[in-house]
C-alpha cells in the first residue's frame, strides 16, 4: 500500500525528517527499509497497531510499536503480576515513565537520573510503588518480581548527582543468579574508583564479604588503632574478628597472621621467590632481612628448602643447644644434623666420614723375608658414617674428594732386617713410605721399629685405601706387629 495521501501529518513534505504514514495489513519487519526513513509511521490494519521507524541503514530497519489493541508496548508489568519484568522475545522492555526516567532506545538502556529534587518513581498499571526515602535507591529482585534483565546487551544505568547521600543497595534473591556491581570508565584518559569513607570520628571504612552461613571477610581501615592500619580480617569490620593481614602507612611495616604463608605459582623457566628488597643505596645501614623468630622458651626458628617428593634441607637456630646454627636433612621434626656451628664459631660436621682403628692383638711372623703384609687394623675406635671395614682392614670412600690418611705401625723382633717399609695402597695409586735400615733405626737396647706415614689422596666414590708393611733381611717372616693403640693405628677423614 502507498503512503497516505494528503495526510496533515506529512509535514513538511520536503523537510529533513517529514512525518509520513504507511498503511498495511501486517506489522513491519526489519526487511521493510528501502522506501522508508527514520520517523515514518506504520498502521497495521490487521491489529490496529501503530509502529514507528526508529532507525534504518542500507540493510535493515528497526521498528518499535507505539500503541494498539494488542499487548501494551510501553507499560511495566506490576509487582503483583504472575511473572517478573523481563525483556520480551524481541528484546523490548515495557515501561511507564515520568519525570526522571529516560529511555535511550537502540541499546535497550533504561536510565534513572537522580538528584536532590527528583527521585525515581516506578508506577504499576494500577498503583504506584512507594517512593524511596530522599536520595536513597533500593533495587530488589526476586524469582517472581522486581527488576530482571536477562537479554544480552541489556543495561541498567543509574545516574545521580555527586555527591550522592544515603544508602545504595543491590539485592538479588534469585537462586543460581549472579549479582555484580561494577564501576567502569571507558575513557582511556580517566580512571574508575570505588570510595568508602567515614568521618574522622566515625566507624571503620571498609568492604565486607560474607557467605550466608559461612565465612566473613572485611578489608578496610581500623581507626580504633593508632596509625589507622589497613586490615584484612575474618570479621564483618576491620576491628572485628581475627587479623589476617595488617599494613601501616608511610612504608613502615606490615604483618601477616598465618600458620603458613606460601607464594605458589607455576613459572616455567623462571623463579618463584619471596624477597626482601631495600631500594636505598645511600646508606650502608640500609639493610634487608628475611627472618624467622620465636619467643624465649618457645620452639626453634628454621628455614626449610624442600624438593617436593625428594630432598629436604633445614637451616635453624638450635635454641636447645645454646643457639648452635645447624643444618640438617629430612623432615624438620625428625631431621638429621649434618653441619653445626656454635655461637663461639666452632664448626663440626657430625656426618663427615672419619675413622680410627688399631690392632686388637699382636700378630706374629707376618714379614721379614720380603713378604708384603696388609696390616690388620681390626678394632675400631670410631667410624663416622661406617666407611671403614674392620674385617678387610679397608676404608671405602663414600664420595669423590680429597682424603687425609695417617698410619703408625710398631714392628718387633727386627734383629737382622736390612730394611722395613710402610705403604698406603689406594685405587688410584700407591704411596710408598720411607725405606728404613732396621740395623740403624731400631729402638735403643731393643729390636722394635715404629713406622709412620701420612698422605693426602684424591679418591673417587667407592675407591679404597689400606696399609701394608714389608721387611727383608731376616731370612724368614718372623717380624711381629705389636698391639698398641698409641703406636699402631690407622686413621683418616674426608678433607674436602
**What is the dihedral sign for C-alpha 19, 24, 27, 31?**
negative
> DSSP class of residue 147?
B
Q: Which of 480, 452, 490 is closest to 361 using CA atoms? A: 480
φ, ψ for residue 57, nearest 5 deg: -140, -160
Q: Which of 395, 363, 387 is closest to 376 using CA atoms? A: 363
In the chain, how many H helices and how many E strands? 1, 32
E strand or H helix at 439: helix 438-441
Distance, in Å, from the CA atom of 432 to the CA atom of 128, rounded to the nearest integer, reads: 114
pLDDT digits (tens), the chain, 496 positions: 556 544 444 555 555 556 788 999 999 998 999 888 888 889 998 888 888 988 888 889 998 888 777 654 444 433 344 444 455 655 555 554 444 444 444 433 444 444 433 334 443 333 333 444 444 444 444 333 334 444 444 444 555 556 666 666 666 666 776 777 777 776 777 778 877 777 666 778 889 888 888 899 999 999 888 888 999 999 998 988 899 999 987 767 788 888 888 888 888 998 888 888 888 999 999 999 888 888 888 899 999 998 888 899 999 999 888 889 999 999 988 999 999 999 999 999 999 999 999 999 999 999 999 999 999 999 999 999 999 999 999 999 999 999 999 999 999 988 888 889 999 999 999 999 988 877 777 776 678 888 999 999 999 999 999 999 999 998 999 999 998 778 899 999 999 9
- Kindly calculate the radius of gyration of the chain based on its CA atoms and give it in whole angstroms: 48
The neighbour count for residue 331, using CB atoms within 10 Å, is 11
Q: Which of 480, 493, 262 is closest to 376 using CA atoms? A: 480
Distance, in Å, from the CA atom of 183 to the CA atom of 191, rounded to the nearest integer, reads: 10
Q: For residue 283, how many C-alpha atoms fall within 13 Å in the half-sphere facing its CB? A: 7
pLDDT of residue 263: 84
Q: Report yes or no: 424 and 405 within 8 Å, Cβ to Cβ.
A: yes
Q: Angle at the Cα of 109 (from 103 to 114), degrees rounded to 5?
A: 65
Sheet holding 49-56, edge to edge: 21-24, 41-44, 49-56, 61-67
Strands 168-172 and 137-141, sheet pairing: parallel
**What is the dihedral sign for C-alpha 95, 99, 101, 105?**
positive
pLDDT of residue 493: 97
Q: Which residue has the cell 711372623?
A: 365
Strands 101-103 and 155-160, sheet pairing: unpaired
Q: Report yes or no: 456 and 428 within 8 Å, Cβ to Cβ.
A: no
pLDDT of residue 358: 96
Compute CA distances 75 → 109, 125, 153, 185, whole Å.
16, 7, 21, 32
pLDDT of residue 152: 41
**What is the dihedral sign for C-alpha 281, 283, 284, 288?**
negative
What's the 3-state SS for 407-426?
EEEEEECCCCCCEEEEEEEE
Distance, in Å, from the CA atom of 488 to the CA atom of 356, rounded to the nearest integer, reads: 11
pLDDT of residue 1: 53
Q: Report yes or no: 206 and 238 within 8 Å, Cβ to Cβ.
A: yes
Contacts of 274 (CB under 8 A, 6+ apart): 263, 290
Q: Which of 357, 351, 352, 453 is closest to 401 using CA atoms? A: 352
Strand partners, 436: 420
Distance, in Å, from the CA atom of 108 to the CA atom of 106, rounded to the nearest integer, reads: 6
In the numeric block, which cell numbers belong to residue 190?
580517566
Distance, in Å, from the CA atom of 37 to the CA atom of 319, rounded to the nearest integer, reads: 89
Cα 93 to chain centroid, rounded: 47
> DSSP class of residue 319?
G
| Domains, in order of start, for the chain | 1-71 (no CATH), 74-195 (no CATH), 206-256 (no CATH), 303-348 (no CATH), 354-494 (2.60.120.40)
Distance, in Å, from the CA atom of 337 to the CA atom of 330, rounded to the nearest integer, reads: 9
Residue-by-residue DSSP string for 250-279: TT--EEE--S--------TTS---------
Amino acid at each position: 500500500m502507498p503512503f497516505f495521501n494528503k495526510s496533515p501529518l506529512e509535514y513538511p513534505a520536503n523537510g529533513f525528517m517529514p512525518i509520513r504514514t504507511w498503511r498495511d495489513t501486517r506489522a513491519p519487519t526489519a526487511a521493510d527499509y528501502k522506501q522508508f526513513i527514520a520517523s515514518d509511521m506504520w498502521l497495521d490494519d490487521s491489529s490496529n497497531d501503530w509502529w514507528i521507524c526508529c532507525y534504518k541503514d542500507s540493510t535493515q530497519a528497526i521498528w518499535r510499536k507505539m500503541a494498539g489493541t494488542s499487548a501494551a508496548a510501553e507499560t511495566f508489568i506490576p509487582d503483583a503480576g504472575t511473572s517478573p519484568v523481563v525483556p520480551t522475545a524481541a528484546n523490548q522492555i515495557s515501561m511507564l515513565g515520568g519525570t526522571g526516567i529516560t529511555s535511550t532506545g537502540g541499546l535497550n538502556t533504561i536510565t534513572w537520573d537522580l538528584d536532590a529534587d527528583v527521585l525515581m518513581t516506578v508506577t504499576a498499571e494500577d498503583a504506584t510503588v512507594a517512593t524511596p526515602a530522599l536520595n536513597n535507591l533500593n533495587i530488589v529482585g526476586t524469582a517472581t518480581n522486581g527488576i530482571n534483565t536477562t537479554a544480552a546487551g541489556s543495561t541498567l544505568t543509574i545516574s545521580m548527582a555527586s555527591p550522592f547521600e544515603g544508602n545504595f543497595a543491590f539485592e538479588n534473591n534469585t537462586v543460581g543468579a549472579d549479582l555484580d556491581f561494577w564501576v567502569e570508565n571507558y575513557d582511556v584518559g580517566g580512571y574508575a574508583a570505588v570510595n568508602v569513607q567515614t568521618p574522622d570520628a566515625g566507624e571503620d571504612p571498609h568492604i565486607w564479604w560474607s557467605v550466608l552461613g559461612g565465612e566473613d571477610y572485611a578489608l578496610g581501615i581500623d581507626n580504633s588503632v593508632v596509625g589507622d592500619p589497613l586490615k584484612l580480617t575474618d570479621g564483618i569490620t576491620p576491628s572485628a574478628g581475627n587479623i589476617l593481614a595488617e599494613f601501616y602507612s608511610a612504608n613502615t611495616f606490615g604483618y601477616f597472621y598465618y600458620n603458613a604463608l606460601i607464594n605458589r605459582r607455576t613459572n616455567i623457566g623462571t623463579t618463584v621467590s619471596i624477597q626482601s628488597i631495600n631500594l636505598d643505596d645511600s646508606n650502608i645501614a640500609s639493610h634487608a632481612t628475611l627472618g624467622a623468630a620465636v619467643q624465649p622458651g618457645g620452639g626453634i626458628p628454621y628455614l626449610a628448602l624442600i624438593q617436593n617428593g625428594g630432598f629436604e634441607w633445614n637451616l635453624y637456630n638450635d635454641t636447645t643447644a645454646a643457639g648452635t646454627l645447624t643444618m640438617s636433612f629430612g623432615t624438620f621434626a625428625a631431621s638429621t644434623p649434618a653441619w653445626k656451628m656454635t655461637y663461639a664459631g666452632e664448626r663440626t660436621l657430625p656426618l663427615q666420614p672419619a675413622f680410627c682403628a688399631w690392632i686388637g692383638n699382636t700378630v706374629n711372623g707376618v714379614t721379614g723375608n720380603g713378604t708384603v703384609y696388609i696390616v690388620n687394623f681390626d678394632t675400631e675406635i670410631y667410624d663416622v658414617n661406617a666407611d671403614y671395614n674392620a674385617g678387610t682392614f679397608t676404608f671405602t670412600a663414600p664420595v669423590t674428594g680429597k682424603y687425609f690418611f695417617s698410619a703408625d705401625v710398631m714392628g718387633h723382633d727386627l734383629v737382622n732386617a736390612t730394611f722395613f717399609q710402610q705403604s698406603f695402597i689406594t685405587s688410584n695409586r700407591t704411596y710408598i713410605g720411607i725405606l728404613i735400615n732396621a740395623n740403624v733405626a731400631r729402638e735403643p737396647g731393643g729390636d722394635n721399629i715404629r713406622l709412620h706415614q701420612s698422605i693426602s689422596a684424591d679418591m673417587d666414590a667407592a675407591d679404597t685405601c689400606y696399609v701394608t708393611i714389608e721387611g727383608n733381611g731376616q731370612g724368614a717372616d718372623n717380624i711381629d706387629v705389636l698391639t698398641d693403640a698409641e703406636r699402631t693405628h690407622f686413621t683418616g677423614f674426608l678433607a674436602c
